[in-house]
């Protein structure tokens, strides 16, 4: 590229100057991101200060921080945040446990490993819509396979989604089932990166399995586990489709996550501005989490180097 | 779980058997969906649920042909088009993000700009943001610009969603390479283009395919934006799936399962072929060989 610059003149030469090489290479990516992400973000930031309603033709008026005040003092919003926190934390813990155990299982090389691994990776490739619909069917009291199996043990009619706790459990199981493989991939990558000679040394020293795990394996997967927690927390925070289909926020509004509430405010009640304000509060939380995430990534890099 | 007298980290067929059982239990919900695709409507909702039944291909037929109630003749559905749309849109946008992302990642890694880390952080934030934050402005923007319902609109949007992690992932692969070799090549008179295409790209091919699979899995099933921004001509399969849910007779589980099964096949095979690379890519390239 530098050579062609020498032979050109005028604008071409200016553009291909080695000084501008970095900026030139970054430009297409930044342009697409600006048009499709950053510009809409600024637009909705602007909207959050007006009383715009997508359903009405009235000219919106400037409201300052009214929307933020309204959202932050709304008790329902805090309830939704609590529900989200409960679902996110239980789902992420479950994903960690299952993902970790599965990673330990697949850390060894065994015949047909590639194929068996595909069995546990498949849930990740399903769409949220289909997972929602079919898990709802599995939980169904009359036709559901879960109730059928449980009927061997108890006479009681099994209505999982009838109680708030059950409904939350139902969502958490579906989400954790779908995304534990992701945690597994992360942990597995950590396990694979442990140099083999360390294990050989441990075997010569006759170190117990327990000790080998804590002194050799764990340091290599520690920050990857942290990465998994943060990445999954951020993603689960956005959980929408599965909740919307399995419980629709019910019974009552006990399983309505912040994402579902946001969707309702924006597209069912058409409080466009108010939902933008709430969205910005969510974005703030996500930025804080992203910072933690980056911190974890950097620590991982330092450790490996 | 016999480990004595065997090389560390290797296991035999006994181990395969154990893991297969666990794998199958985990896979069971997917298996059930696939089985449902071969069931008649009565079998799909039988009590108790049926594991053994006479399989039928009716659901797969009705994915593509629907019997018309008025005339009795069968009529082609648009599902073929939707499958094409999904493959075309996901493939193009992930590929585009890969190209644009590779260029940017190379720059971020080799020719840092002023405020390099700030740019990278802002780029990552756009990926972490809940989609609902931008959905209203994007919806309005697409309406005003005429992008709504076009291939280009949704492709550019998905590209934008894939760019952040493409850049992060690919940058970490570039960072792993030794720049001294590139400098040596420059000394020997290689052009910048040759350094990039001849030295850097071949070394990170595995990383690029990991990025591709990872992006494909995330884009393949996107629903919310597809629902709001695709038209009749550009509708993707997840949207078409959701449209089978409505109706007076309740959910047609067999039909839905058939669509899910068919839709799983392409992504399953791509993932299977590039499995080893995926393992590497998912860690944001932080694991060094």
Out of A125, A142, A272, closest to residue B271 by CB = A125
Best residue in A1, A2, A20, A25 for a mutation probing chain B (most B CBs within 10 Å):
A25
Per-residue confidence (pLDDT) for residue B95, from 0 to 100: 95
CA distances, B203 to each of A103, A144, A151, B182 (Å): 28, 51, 57, 12
Tell me: do B133 and B232 sit in the same domain: yes
> Which pLDDT score is estimated for A1?
45
Question: Residue A215 carries which DSSP code?
Answer: I
Say what the pLDDT of residue B96 is: 96
CB contact (8 A) between residue A193 and residue B287: yes
Q: Which residue is closest to A281 within chain B, CA to CA?
A: B133
CATH of residue B228: 1.10.3720.10
Q: How far apart are CA B159 and CA A192, in angstroms?
A: 31
Dihedral angle computed from the Cα positions of residues A51, A57, A58 and A64, in that order, rounded to the nearest 10 degrees: 20
Return all residues near B287 (Cβ < 8 A) that are at least 6 apart.
Answer: A189, A190, A192, A193, A304, B280
What's the start-to-end Cα distance of chain A, in Å? 32
Domain end point (choices B76, B109, B124) = B76
B184 and B131 fall within a common domain = yes
Residue B101 to residue B118: CA distance in whole angstroms: 17
Phi, psi angle pair for B248, to nearest 5°: -75, -25
With vertex at residue A168, the alpha carbon angle to CA B133 and CA A243, rounded to the nearest 5 degrees, is 35
Scanning B210-239 for CB atoms below 8 A from A yields 217, 220-221, 223-224, 238
Per-domain boundaries in chain A: 1-26, 66-126+177-304
Tell if the CB–CB gap between B137 and A41 is shorter than 8 Å.
yes
* B68 lies in the same domain as B85: no
Cα separations (Å) of A139 from A157, A162, A175, B42, B83?
11, 10, 14, 18, 30
Q: Is residue B230 part of a domain?
A: yes
Select from B6, B23, B197 the residue whose CB has the most chain A CBs within 10 Å, as the one to mutate to test that interface. B23
Half-sphere exposure of B282 (CA within 13 A, CB side): 29
Q: A24, A38, A116: which to substitute to probe chain B, counting the most B Cβ within 10 Å?
A: A116
- Chain A contact for B48 (CB, 8 A cutoff): yes
- Prediction ipTM score: 0.82
Closest CA to A190 of A153, A216, A210, A211: A216
B2 lies in some domain: no
In a domain, B165, yes or no: yes
- Does B289 reside within a domain? no
Tell whether B137 and B173 lie within a shared domain. Answer: yes
Question: Could you list the residue range(s) of the whole structural domain that residue B236 is in?
Answer: 79-281
Question: Do B142 and B259 have their domain in common?
Answer: yes
On whether the A66-126+177-304 domain is CATH 1.10.3720.10, my answer is yes
Q: Is B191 in CB contact (< 8 Å) with chain A?
A: yes
Q: Do B126 and A38 touch (CB under 8 A)?
A: yes
Given a cut of 70, the residues of chain B with pLDDT beneath it are 1-8, 67-73, 246-249, 280-289
Find chain B residues with C-beta within 8 A of A36's C-beta: 138, 156-157, 159-161
The residue to which tokens 């619909």 are assigned: A133
Q: How far is A304 from chain B (nearest CA, A)?
A: 8
Q: Are residues B126 and B225 in the same domain?
A: yes
Report the C-alpha gap between A117 and A113 in whole angstroms. Answer: 6
On whether both B54 and B65 belong to a single domain, the answer is: yes
The rounded average pLDDT for each run of 10 residues, N- to C-terminus, in chain A (305 residues) is 52 72 86 88 84 75 82 87 92 94 88 90 90 89 80 76 88 94 85 79 84 83 78 83 83 85 84 85 82 73 63
Residues B62 and B121 in one domain: no
Instruction: Return the bridge partners of B66, or none.
Output: B75
CB atoms A190 and B287 under 8 Å: yes
């Amino acid at each position: 590229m530098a050579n062609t610059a020498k032979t050109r003149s005028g604008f071409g030469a200016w553009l291909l100057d080695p000084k501008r090489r970095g900026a030139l290479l970054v430009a297409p990516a930044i342009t697409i991101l600006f048009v499709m992400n950053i510009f809409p973000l600024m637009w909705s930031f602007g909207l959050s200060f007006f009383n715009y309603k997508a359903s009405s033709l009235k000219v919106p008026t400037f409201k300052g921080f009214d929307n933020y005040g309204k959202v932050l003092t709304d008790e329902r919003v805090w309830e939704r945040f609590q529900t989200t926190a409960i679902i996110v934390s239980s789902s992420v813990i479950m994903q960690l446990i299952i993902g970790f155990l599965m990673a330990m299982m697949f850390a060894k090389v065994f015949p047909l490993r590639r194929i068996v691994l595909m069995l546990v990776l498949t849930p990740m490739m399903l769409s949220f819509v289909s997972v929602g619909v079919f898990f709802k069917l599995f939980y169904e009291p009359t036709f559901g396979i879960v109730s059928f199996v449980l009927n061997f043990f108890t006479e009681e009619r099994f209505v999982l989604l009838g109680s708030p706790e059950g409904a939350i459990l139902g969502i958490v199981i579906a989400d954790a089932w779908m995304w534990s493989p992701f945690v597994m991939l992360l942990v597995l990558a950590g396990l694979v990166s442990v140099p083999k000679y360390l294990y050989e040394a441990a075997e010569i020293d006759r170190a117990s399995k327990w000790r080998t795990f804590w002194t050799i394996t764990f340091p290599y997967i520690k920050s990857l586990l942290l990465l998994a927690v943060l990445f999954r927390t951020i993603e689960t925070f956005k959980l929408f489709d599965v909740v919307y289909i399995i419980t629709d926020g019910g019974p009552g509004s006990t399983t309505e996550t912040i994402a579902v509430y946001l969707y309702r405010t924006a597209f069912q009640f058409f409080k466009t501005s108010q939902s933008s304000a709430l969205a910005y509060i969510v974005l703030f939380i996500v930025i804080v989490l992203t910072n933690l995430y980056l911190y974890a990534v950097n620590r991982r890099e330092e450790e490996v180097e | 779980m016999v480990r004595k007298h065997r090389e560390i980290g290797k296991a035999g067929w006994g181990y395969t058997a154990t893991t297969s059982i666990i794998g199958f239990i985990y896979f069971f919900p997917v298996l059930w969906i696939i089985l449902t695709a071969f069931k008649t409507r009565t079998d799909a909702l039988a009590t108790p649920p049926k594991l053994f039944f006479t399989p039928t291909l009716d659901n797969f037929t009705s994915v593509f042909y629907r019997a018309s109630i008025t005339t009795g003749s069968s009529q082609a559905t648009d599902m073929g088009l939707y499958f094409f749309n999904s493959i075309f849109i996901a493939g193009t946008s992930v590929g585009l993000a890969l190209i644009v992302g590779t260029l940017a990642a190379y720059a971020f890694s080799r020719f840092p700009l002023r405020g390099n880390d700030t740019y990278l952080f802002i780029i990552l934030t756009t990926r972490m943001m809940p989609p609902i934050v931008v959905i209203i402005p994007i919806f309005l923007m697409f309406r005003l610009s005429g992008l709504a319902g076009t291939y280009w609109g949704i492709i550019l949007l998905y590209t934008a969603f894939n760019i952040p992690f493409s850049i992060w992932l690919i940058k970490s692969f570039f960072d792993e390479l030794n720049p001294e070799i590139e400098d040596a090549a420059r000394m020997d008179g290689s052009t910048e283009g040759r350094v990039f295409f001849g030295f850097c790209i071949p070394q990170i091919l595995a990383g690029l395919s990991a990025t591709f699979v990872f992006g494909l899995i995330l884009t393949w099933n996107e629903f919310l934006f597809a629902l709001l921004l695709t038209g009749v001509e550009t509708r993707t399969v997840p949207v078409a799936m959701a449209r089978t849910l409505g109706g007076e007779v309740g959910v047609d589980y067999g039909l839905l399962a058939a669509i899910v099964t068919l839709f799983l096949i392409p992504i399953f095979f791509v993932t299977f072929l590039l499995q080893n690379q995926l393992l590497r890519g998912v860690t944001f390239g932080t694991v060094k060989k």
